[in-house]
Amino acid sequence: MTSTLRHARYVVGENPVTLLAFGLLIVMLLAALLGSSIAPYDPLATNTVRKLEPPSRAHWFGTDQLGRDILSRVLVATRLDLAIAVGAVSLSFLVGTAAGACAGFFGHWVDRIISRLTDTIMAFPLFVLAMAIVAALGNNIGNVVLATAIINLPFYARMARAEVNVRREAGYVEAARLSGNSALRALRCHVVPNALPPMMVQVSLNLGWAMLNAAGLSFIGLGVRPPTPEWGILVAEGASFILSGEWWIALFPGLALMLAVFCFNLLGDGLRDLIDPRRRT
């Protein structure tokens, strides 16, 4: 454990950007937890007297066309955006890992069916598939989570399959089988835990991507609906005011989204350096 810690310290020392990303993550988690209580205004309260005001001391991020405070809306939106991304990624991590591990471990027809399914998902441009799923199943947040989970599924399934496949014949797995463990138990307790570290890197890199996808969906009007504050919608609301020069409505939610995704990507890179220095790119 101490050697891992020392290695972690080394990685952070070598690449201070990872530390920055970690700081960002903490800020983001705080915003998600406390967002509604530290927001200076009610994110839904309109005040048409003070509409379309540029950033000022009273409204740090300015106000939108209905006089709503943008800082409050961006802050409050953090929880929803984070929840959608985390929900979708956990769902696809759990299902994808389970399916991929089974495919890699049992092979034969299990492998063939699961590989066929993931290939079918991958045959679509992924964002287009997500659009189609939300359009088909109904326009609500639950389906955005589901659609984002489905388009992320193949990455986990393929990775778990490959990782499990190389470990299937390993000595310690055979030892576990010979000492009377069932195949499933050997898979669950001996193979999967060893395949987890590279999967965690994928999770971190994937969180950012899931967030972009979900925000993209709400930007085009799928999933989250106004007036609920969500970064993609907030940018969409500001889009029409860009042409007349009211930049602050779209800029701040867009920046928040960008920083969040940037943070997850940096963390993923840092995590990869920690787990497998050779794969560093």
Partner 1 sequence: MRRGSLLRLVVKRLAAALPALFAVIVVTFLLMRAMPGDPAVYFAGLSATREAIEQVRQKLGLDRSLPEQFVLYLRDLARGDLGQSITTGQTVAYEIATRLPASLELTLFALVLALAVALPLGILAATRPGSWVDHLSRVLTTAGVSLPTFFTGLLLIYVFYYLLGWAPAPLGRLDSVWSPPPRISGLFTLDSLLAGDAALLGACLKQLVLPAVTMALFVMAPIARMTRASMLGALGSDFIRTARASGLTRGTVLYRYAFRNAMLPVVTTLGMVFSFMLGANVLVEKVFAWPGVGSYALDALVASDYAPVQGFVLTMASLYVLLNLVIDVLYGLIDPRVRIEA
Q: Which residues bind partner 1 (CB under 8 A)?
A: 116, 119-120, 122-133, 135-138, 208-209, 212, 215-216, 219-222, 232, 235-236, 238-239, 242-243, 245, 247, 250-251, 254, 257-258, 261-262, 265-266, 269, 281
| Distance of alpha carbon 182 from alpha carbon 15, whole angstroms | 44
In the bound state with partner 1, the residue whose beta carbon lies nearer, of 101 and 261, is: 261
CB of 130 to partner 1, least distance (A): 8
The residues pairing with 63 across neighbouring beta strands, listed in sequence order, are: 69
CB of 249 to partner 1, least distance (A): 10
Asked if 47 contacts 68 with a C-beta cutoff of 8 angstroms, the reply is yes
Asked if 115 contacts 107 with a C-beta cutoff of 8 angstroms, the reply is no
Q: What is the chain's length?
A: 281
In the bound state with partner 1, the residue whose beta carbon lies nearer, of 75 and 215, is: 215
In the bound state with partner 1, the residue whose beta carbon lies nearer, of 22 and 127, is: 127
| Distance of alpha carbon 200 from alpha carbon 88, whole angstroms | 15
| Distance of alpha carbon 205 from alpha carbon 265, whole angstroms | 5
The residues pairing with 69 across neighbouring beta strands, listed in sequence order, are: 63
In the bound state with partner 1, the residue whose beta carbon lies nearer, of 170 and 220, is: 220
In the bound state with partner 1, the residue whose beta carbon lies nearer, of 76 and 236, is: 236
Asked if 231 contacts 258 with a C-beta cutoff of 8 angstroms, the reply is no
CB of 22 to partner 1, least distance (A): 15
CB of 215 to partner 1, least distance (A): 6
Asked if 106 contacts 96 with a C-beta cutoff of 8 angstroms, the reply is no
CB of 74 to partner 1, least distance (A): 13
In the bound state with partner 1, the residue whose beta carbon lies nearer, of 196 and 239, is: 239
CB of 2 to partner 1, least distance (A): 29
Q: Judging by beta carbons within 10 Å of its beta carbon (0-12, 13-18, 19+), is residue 171 exposed, middle or buried?
A: exposed
